[in-house]
Amino acid sequence: MSKVTRVATFNPPNDAWGGDAAFEGTCRRGELRGIIKINQNNCVGCDTCTAFCPTDAIRGSLGVAHKISVNRCVNCGQCLTNCPFGAIEQMSFVDTVMQKLDDPNAFVVAHPSPSVRVSIAEEFGGNPGDLTVNRLYNAFEKAGFHNYDVNFAADQTILEEGTEFIRKVRYWALGERGDDLEHMAAHPFPHFTSCCPAWIKNAETFHPQLLPHISGAKSPIQMGGALAKTWAAKYVWNVDPRNVYMVAVTPCTAKIFEASRPEFNSASQYLIRNGEIPSDTPSFQDIDAVLTARDIAEVFRRKHINPLELSDERATETMNVYTGAATIFGNSGGVMEAALRTAYFILSGNELSNPDLIAVRGYETDIVEATIPIPLKAYDGKIIEVKVAVVNGASRNIKAIVERLIDDRNKYHFVEVMNCPGGCVNGGGQPVRTMGTSWLHPLLPLPLRA
């Protein structure tokens, strides 16, 4: 039986989205700030949290209540899951979503990330790793949600990111030129992944010279939000897209920030441009609210639903179809592995004989490196050696690792960076155990990481 600790939450204050200024510190107009907050009455100044912060955002003397610098914080929640005194709180949209579920005009959709299906059980007394796919879908439905699995959109992210990587290989490694490749001139190797919003905020704030290297593919959740309000609203659900209310259900507190970023309103732009909604419709975000795994457990508790007591049976639905590549996004190395499978298939013309690229998995070291030989169909089978690196267990060491990568910019073709140790399975929105969620962290002794 697993024991989890309840985390204190707070509703977003009125000034959480900032004022009218285009920038306030490192946040733009409309971007949420103060998502993770130290309760000054509960903090004993033990300093534990500072060891888990990737950006040195926490300040305070020993024995004195600590504070988080909003301008340095990347919203990852690693301090929260590792504070031994439960002094760190998370901004929550549970009340907002509960109201929407009572609104008869709202078409409320739950959009669950891969990691939540293996963590939600812990909130209801199950064991870490208990898989709850259909029970989770059934719980959403019982609570009043429609279902749209993030894995469906993760497959699209893989296609986008894999195709982008192939263009980079053709331009930079093979010297090809052509209209479809010219924009790659401004996007050299190494190619960095883009799906972790804490890593993106970290790169924007502290390593802006890396931005041309970062993939242009949106995260699966953001691709899913845009698809839901355009394609799915029209062709699957047959509802007015303005009534679709997308609720991302994630292991991640940084996704709360990501959903508020002003560029993530593609659906409303598309719908206005195509005359599908009136041109004076106010812009709306692709994702309307984000709930962490802990938050959705609270929604279920308020509605007296225990997913573990529900049926594990369910018919396959259009919006819940996905491949195994989408599922491994939740683990460190998963995004890289999934994109390389696509790249291998397109460049070589063949599926990998063994799709499990075990070389890029693992979390025992800060960086996992591998070389993947790919025979090129268009070059009579000539082999290209694709050098890849997966940065994991990164939250504490990410600064040093990124600086090393910048010095060695020509060493790798493809680099995956996930903020949280071991990837999203260990995200800042997951159920919190008494010893902290980051039990994979390199600082901890091996028995706790096994």
Secondary structure string (H, E, C) spanning the chain: CCCEECCCEECCCHHHHCCCCCEECCEECCCCCCCEEECCCCCCCCCHHHHHCCCCCEECCCCCCCEECCCCCCCCCHHHHHCCCCCEEEECCHHHHHHHHCCCCCEEEEEECHHHHHCHHHHCCCCCCCCCHHHHHHHHHHHCCEECCHHHHHHHHHHHHHHHHHHHHHHHHCCCCCCCCHHHHHCCCCEECCCCHHHHHHHHHHCHHHHHHECCCCCHHHHHHHHHHHHHHHHHHCCCHHHEEEEEEECCCHHHHHHCCCCCCHHHHHHHHCCCCCCCCCCCCCCCEEEEHHHHHHHHHHCCCCHHHCCCCCCCCHHHCCCHHHHHHHCCCHHHHHHHHHHHHHHHCCCCCCCCCHHHCCCCCCEEEEEEEEECHHHCCCEEEEEEEEECCCCCCHHHHHHHHHHCCCCCCEEEECCCCCCHHHCCCCCEECCCCCCCCCCCCHHHHC
Nearer of residues 77 and 241 to ligand SF4, judged by Cβ: 77
**In one letter, which amino acid is 18?**
G
Q: Which of 114, 427, 431, 436 binds ligand SF4 (CB under 6 A)?
A: 427
Q: Which of 423, 431, 436, 442 binds ligand SF4 (CB under 6 A)?
A: 423
Give the shortest CB-293-to-ligand SF4 separation in angstroms.
10
Q: Return the structure tokens found at 448.
A: 């706790």
Q: Which of 4, 27, 57, 372 binds ligand SF4 (CB under 6 A)?
A: 57
Give the shortest CB-202-to-ligand SF4 separation in angstroms.
8
Nearer of residues 71 and 318 to ligand SF4, judged by Cβ: 71
Q: Is position 69 annotated as part of the catalytic site?
A: no
Interface with ligand SF4, residue 252, by CB under 6 A: yes
Give the shortest CB-236-to-ligand SF4 separation in angstroms.
26
Q: Which of 91, 110, 198, 310 binds ligand SF4 (CB under 6 A)?
A: 198
Q: Return the structure tokens found at 232.
A: 């799915």
Q: Is position 258 annotated as part of the catalytic site?
A: yes
Q: Is position 399 annotated as part of the catalytic site?
A: no
Instruction: Tell me which residue of 431, 449, 402 sits closest to 196, measured CA to CA.
Output: 402
Query: Partners of 38 in the beta sheet?
Result: 88
The Cα 241–Cα 232 span in angstroms is 9
Give the shortest CB-50-to-ligand SF4 separation in angstroms.
7
Interface with ligand SF4, residue 391, by CB under 6 A: no
Subset of residues 74 to 93 that bind ligand SF4, contact rule: CB under 6 A: 74-79, 83, 85, 87-88
- Stretches 2-10, 52-60, 125-133, 268-276: which one binds ligand SF4 (CB under 6 A)? 52-60
Nearer of residues 39 and 306 to ligand SF4, judged by Cβ: 39
- Name the CA dihedral angle for 432, 435, 441, 446, rounded to a multiple of 10 degrees: -140
Q: Which of 97, 139, 226, 254 binds ligand SF4 (CB under 6 A)?
A: 254
Chain position whose Cβ is nearest to ligand SF4: 427
- Stretches 89-97, 154-162, 246-254, 336-344: which one binds ligand SF4 (CB under 6 A)? 246-254
Interface with ligand SF4, residue 369, by CB under 6 A: no
Interface with ligand SF4, residue 203, by CB under 6 A: no
Interface with ligand SF4, residue 306, by CB under 6 A: no
- The catalytic position among 123, 160, 258, 337 is 258
Interface with ligand SF4, residue 247, by CB under 6 A: no
Instruction: Tell me which residue of 282, 153, 119 sits closest to 222, measured CA to CA.
Output: 153
Q: Is position 215 annotated as part of the catalytic site?
A: yes
Nearer of residues 154 and 418 to ligand SF4, judged by Cβ: 418
Q: Which of 4, 43, 94, 405 binds ligand SF4 (CB under 6 A)?
A: 43
- Stretches 43-51, 153-161, 179-187, 404-412: which one binds ligand SF4 (CB under 6 A)? 43-51
Give the shortest CB-21-to-ligand SF4 separation in angstroms.
22
Q: Is position 255 annotated as part of the catalytic site?
A: yes
Q: Is position 195 annotated as part of the catalytic site?
A: yes
Interface with ligand SF4, residue 53, by CB under 6 A: yes
Number of residues binding to ligand SF4, judged by CB under 6 A: 39
User: Angle, to 10 degrees, between the axis of helix 220-227 and the axis of helix 150-168?
Assistant: 110
Q: Which of 7, 73, 338, 357 binds ligand SF4 (CB under 6 A)?
A: 73
List, by residue number, the catalytic residues: 161, 164, 195, 215, 255, 258, 263, 424
* Site for ligand SF4, rule CB under 6 A: 36, 38, 43-49, 52-55, 57-58, 66, 68, 73-79, 83, 85, 87-88, 196, 198, 251-252, 254, 418-420, 423-424, 427
